[in-house]
């Protein structure tokens, strides 16, 4: 039951948001929700380490079962609560295949976003190269152009794999995040349309991050992508 579940999360983190969206979609509101601050390094606190030796958010418990990896938690919740809330994995083989495909590509997308946005955090000063920054940005551009094509025919009810699914749960937060960092709606009109179509979906609207980022100088980092 929801009351046996605990989610430790941080605001504006796409992986955290994925789990929050699934909990809403599966009618599992009522879980213990602990908002922590990345700024204050609370993701490295003992309460997180007790659940997650990696000191990362989200950290999620269902009773004594721990699933911290966001896509893993989403799949677990859909499988355990198949009969309640929204059906998030389609039955038809073709849609199901597409859903799993886009869901896992969503992981690649997030990595390429992170490689650009977190470059200074991931790479020590003495190892940074302009050529690497340029290459990371080009890789992200190529990636986003692929998704722009995937979303060519996006419309209400016709999202990444047809009806709203785990693919959207995993990928939507990535795009919302990218737009917060200045991604251009003119350059990526289909992605912008996709975001707009789903922004009022209850599970997304009620859980929209209150706070996105702390470092103002990174605010426009994806503007030129």
What does the binding site for other proteins look like in residue numbers (CB under 8 A)?
53-54, 62, 64-73, 75-76, 79-80, 93-94, 96-97, 100-101, 103-105, 107-108, 123-124, 126-127, 129, 131-132, 135, 146, 149
CB closer to other proteins, 42 vs 69: 69
Beta carbon of residue 156, minimum distance to other proteins (angstroms, whole number): 25
Beta carbon of residue 149, minimum distance to other proteins (angstroms, whole number): 8
CB closer to other proteins, 147 vs 164: 147
Cα 177 from chain centre: 8
Q: How far apart are CA 48 and CA 66, in angstroms?
A: 12
Q: How far apart are CA 172 and CA 7, in angstroms?
A: 20
User: Which residue matches tokens 């700024």?
Assistant: 39
CB closer to other proteins, 152 vs 200: 152
Closest Cα to residue 207, out of 7, 4, 1?
A: 7
Is residue 195 within 8 A of residue 118, CB to CB? The reply is no
CB closer to other proteins, 131 vs 217: 131
Tokens representing 30?
């009522």
Phi/psi zone of residue 30: left (φ > 0), alpha (ψ -120 to 50 degrees), beta? left
Beta carbon of residue 141, minimum distance to other proteins (angstroms, whole number): 14
Beta carbon of residue 105, minimum distance to other proteins (angstroms, whole number): 6
Tokens representing 145?
């152009």
Beta carbon of residue 64, minimum distance to other proteins (angstroms, whole number): 8
CB closer to other proteins, 107 vs 180: 107
């Amino acid at each position: 039951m929801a009351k046996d579940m605990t989610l430790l999360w941080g605001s504006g983190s796409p992986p955290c948001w994925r789990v929050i969206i699934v909990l809403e979609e599966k009618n599992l509101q009522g879980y213990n929700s602990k908002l922590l601050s990345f700024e204050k390094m609370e993701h490295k606190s003992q309460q997180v380490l007790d659940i997650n030796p990696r000191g990362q958010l989200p950290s999620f418990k269902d009773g004594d079962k721990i699933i911290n990896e966001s896509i893993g938690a989403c799949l677990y919740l859909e499988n355990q609560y198949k009969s309640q809330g929204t059906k998030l994995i389609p039955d038809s083989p073709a849609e199901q295949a597409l859903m799993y495909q886009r869901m896992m590509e969503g992981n690649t997308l997030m990595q390429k976003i992170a490689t650009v946005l977190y470059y200074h955090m991931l790479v020590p000063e003495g190892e940074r190269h302009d050529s690497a920054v340029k290459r990371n940005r080009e890789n992200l551009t190529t990636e986003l152009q692929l998704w722009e094509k995937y979303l060519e025919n996006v419309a209400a009810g016709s999202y990444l794999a047809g009806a709203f699914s785990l693919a959207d749960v995993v990928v939507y937060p990535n795009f919302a995040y990218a737009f917060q960092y200045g991604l251009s709606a003119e350059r990526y009109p289909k992605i912008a349309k996709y975001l707009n179509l789903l922004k009022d979906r209850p599970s997304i609207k009620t859980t929209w991050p209150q706070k996105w980022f702390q470092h103002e100088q990174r605010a426009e980092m994806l503007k030129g992508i």
